[in-house]
Amino acid sequence: MKPQIEQIESWARYAGKMAIEMRKEDLKVEYKNQADLVTRADKAIEAYLLAQLEENFPSHTALAEETGMHKKDSAHKWYIDPIDGTLNYAHGLPEYSISIAYAYEGELQVGVVYCPEMDELFSAVKGQGAWLNGEPIRVSRIDKLTDALLITGFRHALLDTPRTNIDNFIHFSRKAQTVRRLGSAALDLAYVAAGRAEGFWEIALNPWDVAAGILLVREAGGIVEGLFGEADLLTGSVDILSANPAIFPQMRKVLEEVRKLKASNIQTL
Ligand code: IPD
Ligand code: CA
Ligand code: CA
């Protein structure tokens, strides 16, 4: 049986209710490291979603942030981030989401990103389109980088390393209209899909952060690739670039310029 979008949407909505309810009590925050948290809600929502998969699709593989890989060797694979933007969630900021994606033989088929605090449910089905609360969405038509609102994020552990994203941030801040850092990669991608942002890039994400968002952007007419063209965005550490078709090549050019400056040890800031 093929997963139906309505079913995944209803799991995401239920998970969203769990997130809102659980914030009213002690979240039992634990630290994976200084900027990487996990709460009681992350664990409970992940357990709920995995239980739905076990009940409905017992032979499918799932990759979930808090518990890793479940059941290897299936052509059917799920990517689950129970709360994307846990740090925002723990502080009471509304910018967090539940992200669920389903892929068949490595091809994303269905993606759902739900922001419970704003009751915004973004969904996409391969070949059929992308929607926000049931209404079709498209990437924006803005075509000049100087008019573009971009979004990014920073992995804390990379800040003082050669892979830091700070140099890119500075260059894009000069060349675009503005750059935002919102704190949920899944929602960042959903906003590109919905035409609220023209582009998004980030370094060292995980497949569960981006799987649903990738399908959203592609189904909404946007482009998603690795930062420098890498094709596999569903394995290991993911460096990602996503934008509407006009802004995408302009962003790639800036990223390449910064990469060259770094390689030649020229001061980039
Ligand atoms: C994080 C968010 C954030 C990104 C981090 C991710 P989490 O996911 O997507 O936007 O900048 O790199 O780890 O830990 O809140 O699920
Ligand atoms: Ca995440
Ligand atoms: Ca998470």
Are 199 and 147 spatial neighbours (Cβ–Cβ below 8 Å)? Answer: no
Indicate whether 255 and 238 sit together in one domain.
Answer: yes
The predicted model gives 248-268 an average pLDDT of: 90
Q: Looking at the predicted structure, is the pLDDT value of residue 34 above 70? A: yes
CA dist., res. 242 & res. 227, Å (int): 8
3-state secondary structure of 170: helix
66 alpha carbon, closest ligand: 3
Looking up tokens 């960042």 gives: 188
Indicate whether 54 and 159 sit together in one domain.
Answer: no
CATH code of the domain containing 200: 3.40.190.80
Are 112 and 142 spatial neighbours (Cβ–Cβ below 8 Å)? Answer: no
CA distances from 260 to 21, 112, 215, 263 (A): 48, 37, 30, 5
Residue 201 φ/ψ, nearest 5 degrees: -140, 155
Mean pLDDT of the chain: 95
Indicate whether 110 and 10 sit together in one domain.
Answer: yes
For residue range 137-168, list pLDDT tens digits in order. Answer: 999 999 999 999 999 999 988 888 888 999 99
The atom number, within ligand 1, closest to the CA of 208 reads: 16
For residue range 67-77, list pLDDT tens digits in order. Answer: 999 977 899 99
Instruction: Give the residue from 90, 109, 136 where a domain finishes.
Output: 136
- Looking at ligand 1, which residue's alpha carbon is closest to its atom 13? 205
What is the structure's pLDDT at 162?
86
Residue 73 DSSP symbol: S
Q: Is the CB of 153 under 6 A from ligand 1?
A: yes
What is the structure's pLDDT at 72?
76
Indicate whether 118 and 163 sit together in one domain.
Answer: no
Structural domain span for residue 38: 5-136
The atom number, within ligand 1, closest to the CA of 209 reads: 9
Indicate whether 150 and 246 sit together in one domain.
Answer: yes
Q: Looking at the predicted structure, is the pLDDT value of residue 269 above 70? A: no
Question: What is the model's pTM?
Answer: 0.96
Burial of 27 (0-12, 13-18, 19+ CB in 10 A): middle
Indicate whether 12 and 132 sit together in one domain.
Answer: yes
Length of the chain: 269
CA distances from 58 to 14, 71, 81, 211, 228 (A): 20, 9, 19, 21, 37
CATH code of the domain containing 112: 3.30.540.10
Residue 40 one-letter amino acid = R
CA dist., res. 61 & res. 76, Å (int): 6
Mutate to test the pocket of ligand 1, among 29, 39, 84, 100 (most ligand atoms within 8 A of CB): 84
How many independent structural domains does the chain possess?
A: 2
Indicate whether 111 and 211 sit together in one domain.
Answer: no
The atom number, within ligand 1, closest to the CA of 155 reads: 12
The atom number, within ligand 1, closest to the CA of 36 reads: 14
Q: Strand 61-64 relative to strand 76-84: parallel, antiparallel, unpaired? A: parallel
CA of 255 to the centre of ligand 3 (A): 27
